[in-house]
Amino acid sequence: MKLSWTLLGALALVITILLLASCSSEQKQQGNATSKASTAGQTTGSCAPAGIEWKVPTGWVPGPEKPMRVATYAVGGLDAPAECAVFFFGAGQGGDVDANIARWISQVKQPDGSDSEDKAVRDKVKSACCQITTIEVAGTYLASSGAMMQTTAEKPGFVLLGAIVPGPKGNVFFKFTGPKTTVDKAKEDFLGLLRSVNKQAD
């Protein structure tokens, strides 16, 4: 009998550990973007808290988790790598469209000292679920990092493509930056990703 109670206790402990691990995994998936392979072999990305999903372009490689991001994709080769970062700050958070467009433009300066706002191209992309605002500006990209997002490097010859997706539960921000050669080559892939945005299936 003593042995039986010992076995029962051990079994109960194992079940408890498995349940806790399952809950932890679910919470982690809800707070970050998820990826899954479709039947055609293409990857689908999603941001569950915002209620949207999208098709990841072929060749775009999901990167490791980073603070404040729901996804990061590496684009292009090692000689001229670019990056597409996806952000979601919560319902009603992250600022409005105009404020973010202005902020992105301010992150690119012109070699001749002219105003980047005059060089920026603002547009719209229609997806299955929403109208997406985009911005494109080329020049010297002021890369930033840290809690205060201070400028850490100046990268000449870069392009910033930004997009603000009005998800059912809040805005989702797509920011694609990299050398002009890489970004120009992948621009249609980026626009295709935006066109593929849809409400996340239940």
- Residue-wise pLDDT for 129-143, tens only, equals 999 999 999 999 999
Q: Could you tell me which residues are beta bridge partners of residue 124?
A: 133
Q: At 72, list the tokens.
A: 């990061």
Residue 38 in this model has a pLDDT that exceeds 70: no
- Band (152; pLDDT cuts 50, 70, 90): confident
- Band (13; pLDDT cuts 50, 70, 90): very low
Cα–Cα distances in Å, from 36 out to 43, 164, 170, 182? Answer: 6, 23, 22, 26
Domain at 32-199: CATH code: 3.40.1000.10
Q: Which helix (H) or strand (E) element contains residue 42?
A: none
Q: Apex CA 79: angle with CA 61 and CA 157, to 5°?
A: 100
Q: Is 189 helix (H, G, I), strand (E, B) or coil?
A: helix
Residue 28 in this model has a pLDDT that exceeds 90: no
Q: What pLDDT is attached to residue 21?
A: 34
Q: What pLDDT is attached to residue 145?
A: 63
Q: Apex CA 161: angle with CA 156 and CA 162, to 5°?
A: 130
For 14-26, write each residue's pLDDT tens digit: 333 333 233 233 3
